[in-house]
Amino acid sequence: MVDVIVAGGGPTGMMLAGELALAGVDAAIVERRPTPELVGSRAGGFHSRTIEILDQRGIADRFLAEGTPVQAAFFGTTKLDVSDFPTRHPYTLGLWQNHIERILAGWIGELGVPVHRGLELAGIAQNDAGVDVHLVDGTTMRAQYLVGADGGRSAVRKAAGIGFPGWDATRSSLIAEVEVTEETPAGMRIDEVGVHGLHLMEDGRTTRVVVTEKHIGPATEPTLADLSKALTDIFDTDFGVHSPTWISRFTDATRQAAAYRSGRVLLAGDAAHIHSPSGGQGIGLGIQDAVNLGWKLAQVVKGTAPDSMLDTYHAERHPAGARALRHTMAQAVMQRADARVGALADTVAGLLDIDEARKRLAGLISGLDVRYDLGEGHPLLGRRMPDLDVVTATGPLCVFTLLHNARGVLLNFGVPGSVDAGPWADRVQVVDATYDGGWELPVIGSVSAPAAVLIRPDGYVAWTGDGTRAGLEDALASWFGPARHQLPEDR
């Protein structure tokens, strides 16, 4: 029996398993694919907040070394500049999913996370003591908790009986990597049918194709013949496509799990929400789910926090996901060349010349504006902690460095020793620091400097001090479990 089984070895599943391993939890991944290599490039990168999350764990440089920073946040066809956002990473990182998965696989390998490949889930049974995971090959694995990170058709979600309400598809597209015999046009094309594009891959031989179908395709694996027809419908030729590496179909269907938790079963990533790829938020949303859930689940497994801690996962990530999904629906509509939609797109593009409007939408797409409802108070409360350059007793460092081990941090900017974690000292790192610069938040702008901040392991601020300890112990108890009984000599 392991502590946690993660069903699904994509970016979300690997990020979650890594978070659990950092917290000292025995986690294992069960993946249907028999080999670690992802066939084809798939998704194309992620936005600023996702890069920051990877930076919080000290692994962002691995991705930056292979990716390409670009200003590629879009609303419809309008590019949104985020270069003036207060973050170390005011850009989108272009990096194909097969590389993203390879890098993440290397990281969890270093952390000792086992990955069981070629296993497919057949059903589950849970009780007060754990979850039995029944596999198609007739074997059973058991864990305290099961997390479904197994994609939009999640077997875990279905087995747990969690509803998946939303909106049906209005159009479908094919995406593939193939070879061609004819010269292809470069770049993207938008028409009444949808968005289309052909792009020569880095090997100089393979062409990446995205083409919207004139009619919604069936819920079956697409064929080369399907791709040929779709291309001919749009370009009057299929460019002699042959030798496909992979072909897949995606739609603008938008659905969200009615609950992110059912007892000892939880959902993350595409298992919890599917949407149009417009805006490029898929991988980022999944990684944000994983990092929100990982430290909470670890505390429950280790007995330092009550089971009710897991309810905050749904309470925080379901609204954040719903907001992003509504945005992708708007994005998908704006990427149509219908004359009426074109008039709307022109109007919106004009509005986005207004700086406040640009920042608001770019903050949503980049993930930098996420705020969890942690009560009223300082504007930092519930928002991600900026990666400030601070000076500590050991010298200068970046705040994100303090989050590399996925522990909470109580960062004190007042008189050294004026705040402490008390009986939570074994769960929260206390650091006295100085910082002389300004405090600026994406979209919000400048804010007053707090005397101290309590930072959760996911990088979000759970408490801000104004020179007193008021509310600190409540915040510590809420997010790091009840205080341990102190020995007499500790009092």
Residue range 171-251 forms a domain whose CATH class is: alpha beta
pLDDT confidence of 399, banded at 50, 70, 90? very high
**Tokens read off for 270:** 């595409």
DSSP-derived 3-state class of residue 448? coil
Residue type, 232: T
Q: What is the mean pLDDT of the chain?
A: 92
The pTM of this model reads 0.93
Q: How far is CA 113 from CA 19, 78, 104, 247, 467, in A?
A: 10, 41, 11, 30, 42
pLDDT for position 76: 74
pLDDT for position 487: 34
pLDDT, tens only, 90-145: 999 999 898 999 999 999 999 999 999 999 999 999 999 999 999 999 999 999 99
Task: Output the CA angle 52-58-64, nearest 5 degrees.
Answer: 65
CA–CA dist 285, 70 (Å, integer) = 19
Domain chopping of the chain, boundaries: 2-166+255-366, 171-251, 389-490
pLDDT confidence of 466, banded at 50, 70, 90? confident
pLDDT confidence of 467, banded at 50, 70, 90? low
The half-sphere exposure of 409 on its side-chain side, counting CA atoms within 13 A, is: 27
Mean pLDDT of 16-25: 98
pLDDT, tens only, 164-206: 999 999 999 999 999 999 999 988 888 888 889 999 988 889 9
pLDDT for position 488: 36
Mean pLDDT of 378-396: 96
pLDDT for position 490: 38
pLDDT, tens only, 200-231: 988 889 999 999 999 999 988 999 999 999 99
Asked if CATH classification 3.40.50.150 holds for the domain at 2-166+255-366, the reply, yes or no, is no
pLDDT confidence of 288, banded at 50, 70, 90? very high
Fold of domain 389-490: Glutaredoxin (3.40.30)
CA–CA dist 120, 127 (Å, integer) = 21
Q: Are 120 and 34 in contact (CB under 8 A)?
A: no
pLDDT for position 41: 56
pLDDT for position 40: 59
DSSP-derived 3-state class of residue 427? coil
Candidates 459, 154, 117, 440; CA nearest to 287 is: 459
CA–CA dist 318, 324 (Å, integer) = 10
CA–CA dist 138, 32 (Å, integer) = 14
